[in-house]
């Protein structure tokens, strides 16, 4: 695949006095409450750092798209401790909270109202496919839909949320480790930490049922694979230079995008911290709509997402960059 048009963005966020959440949250975990609901998102603070991204050829299960390994510098951010559930995602689809106004604009990071965000259409079938809704991860949405959810949540709460970059995702998944998984190389322990083909009973499972990784993040290995912002390349990281700062790869095409973590359908090898998966138009194969839906992947009941919030709030222009990528 030719990625000569790919853009490698090194994004350095600018902190504004009124938008700096470091003053509000002081680099601690916090709970994001959703107005007039019982829904909560537990946000885990991830310190800035440097890590070795990818895997060596000698690693069990290594694939060429995980090479070459390279050091990456990551700025501090918050990440949701678990995948976004149907309980919350359906509020976005139904848009029943759009009319609510924030009680205070203090510390507001975004200049947007919920009803100004384009929303996902109500699906014509049950997109959970009967696997579970209450407490279960939302699945089958496109990357566009996941990104619009982040934009809607930002407008609803006044805090800037987005999907993680691929580098942020792997950094958080590894949680300081250099092994196959965040807990080491012992496959006999995978059952304690992840839902995969060997224990999932052929379906998604409720979030937070397995052990978290060392940084307090649940289901980074398995349950559902997770969207990232980045364009996927089967050439791996050949364009990346060593010690990049917060890399993000963008290309003006819908497919493929990078999905991480493996899922309930996958074998253990696909759940490794370095493992990558490419999205494909085949994920809409059974969609009867013409043209195909912008919001749903009828053939991807294994993909979901979690959200992040950078320590330093990006400018409004940068926010729109994250929310309006060429994605689907």
- What is the pLDDT at residue 67? 96
Alpha-carbon distances, residue 204 vs 22, 85, 165, 218, 233 (angstroms): 35, 11, 24, 14, 27
Q: Residue 303 carries which DSSP code?
A: E
Q: Under a CB-based contact definition with an 8 Å cutoff, are residues 248 and 37 in contact? A: no
Give the list of residues 6+ apart from residue 272 with CB closer than 8 angstroms, or none: 55, 59, 60, 61, 180, 181, 221, 262
Written as six digits, the tokens of 239 are: 């364009």
Alpha-carbon distances, residue 18 vs 21, 38, 44, 76, 206 (angstroms): 8, 28, 22, 18, 37
Give the closest residue to 148 by CA, choosing from 89, 223, 105, 225.
89
- What is the pLDDT at residue 38? 92
- What is the pLDDT at residue 107? 64
Q: Is 254 exposed, middle or buried (0-12, 13-18, 19+ CB in 10 A)?
A: middle
Give the closest residue to 204 by CA, choosing from 132, 289, 305.
132
Q: How far apart (Å, rounded) are the C-alpha atoms in residues 235 and 119?
A: 34
Backbone angles phi, psi at 303, to 5 degrees: -115, 135
Instruction: State the residue for tokens 């949250």.
Output: 25
- What is the pLDDT at residue 101? 61
Alpha-carbon distances, residue 193 vs 85, 188, 202, 308 (angstroms): 19, 10, 17, 22
CATH topology of domain 7-323: 3.90.1580
Ramachandran bin of 135, using left for φ above 0, alpha for ψ from -120 to 50, beta for the remaining angles:
left
Torsion of CA 109, 111, 113, 118, to 10 degrees: -100
pLDDT under 70: residue ranges of the chain: 1-25, 101-107, 288, 290, 325-328
- The full DSSP string for 137-171 is BP-SB-HHHHHHHHHHHHHHHSS--BPPPHHHHHH
Alpha-carbon distances, residue 170 vs 143, 289, 318 (angstroms): 18, 35, 22
Q: How far apart (Å, rounded) are the C-alpha atoms in residues 316 and 322?
A: 10
Kindly report, residue by residue over 187-216, the tens digit of the pLDDT. Answer: 999 999 999 999 999 999 999 999 999 999
Rg of the chain over Cα atoms, rounded to whole angstroms, equals 19
Alpha-carbon distances, residue 328 vs 16, 141, 291 (angstroms): 31, 9, 13
- What is the pLDDT at residue 293? 84
- What is the pLDDT at residue 36? 86
- What is the pLDDT at residue 34? 92
Q: How far apart (Å, rounded) are the C-alpha atoms in residues 321 and 150?
A: 13
Residue spans of alpha helices (H) in 131-280 = 143-157, 166-174, 190-193
Q: How far apart (Å, rounded) are the C-alpha atoms in residues 314 and 320?
A: 10
- What is the pLDDT at residue 327? 43
């Amino acid at each position: 695949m030719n990625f000569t048009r790919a853009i490698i963005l090194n994004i350095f966020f600018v902190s504004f006095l009124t938008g700096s959440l470091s003053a509000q949250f002081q680099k601690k975990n916090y709970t994001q409450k959703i107005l007039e609901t019982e829904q909560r998102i537990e946000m885990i603070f991830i310190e800035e750092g440097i890590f070795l991204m990818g895997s060596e050829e000698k690693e069990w299960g290594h694939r060429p798209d995980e090479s070459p390994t390279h050091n990456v510098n990551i700025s501090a951010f918050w990440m949701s401790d678990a995948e976004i559930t149907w309980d919350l995602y359906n509020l976005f689809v139904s848009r029943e909270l759009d009319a609510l106004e924030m009680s205070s604009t203090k510390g507001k990071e975004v200049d947007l109202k919920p009803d100004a965000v384009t929303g996902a259409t109500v699906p014509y079938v049950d997109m959970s496919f009967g696997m579970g809704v209450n407490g279960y991860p939302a699945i089958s949405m496109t990357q566009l839909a996941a990104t619009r959810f982040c934009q809607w949540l930002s407008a609803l709460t006044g805090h800037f949320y987005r999907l993680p970059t691929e580098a942020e995702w792997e950094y958080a998944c590894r949680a300081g480790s250099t092994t196959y998984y965040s807990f080491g190389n012992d496959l006999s322990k995978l059952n304690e930490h992840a839902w995969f083909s060997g224990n999932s009973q052929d379906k998604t499972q409720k979030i937070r049922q397995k052990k978290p990784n060392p940084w307090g993040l649940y289901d980074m290995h398995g349950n559902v694979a997770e969207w990232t912002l980045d364009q996927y390349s089967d050439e791996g990281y050949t364009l990346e230079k060593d010690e990049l700062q917060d890399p993000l790869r963008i290309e003006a095409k819908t497919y493929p995008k990078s999905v991480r973590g493996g899922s309930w359908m996958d074998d253990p090898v696909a759940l490794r911290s370095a493992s990558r998966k490419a999205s494909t138009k085949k994920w809409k194969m059974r969609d009867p709509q013409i043209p195909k839906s912008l919001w749903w992947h009828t053939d991807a009941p294994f993909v979901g997402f979690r959200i992040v919030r950078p320590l330093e709030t990006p400018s409004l222009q940068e926010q729109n960059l994250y929310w309006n990528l060429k994605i689907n």
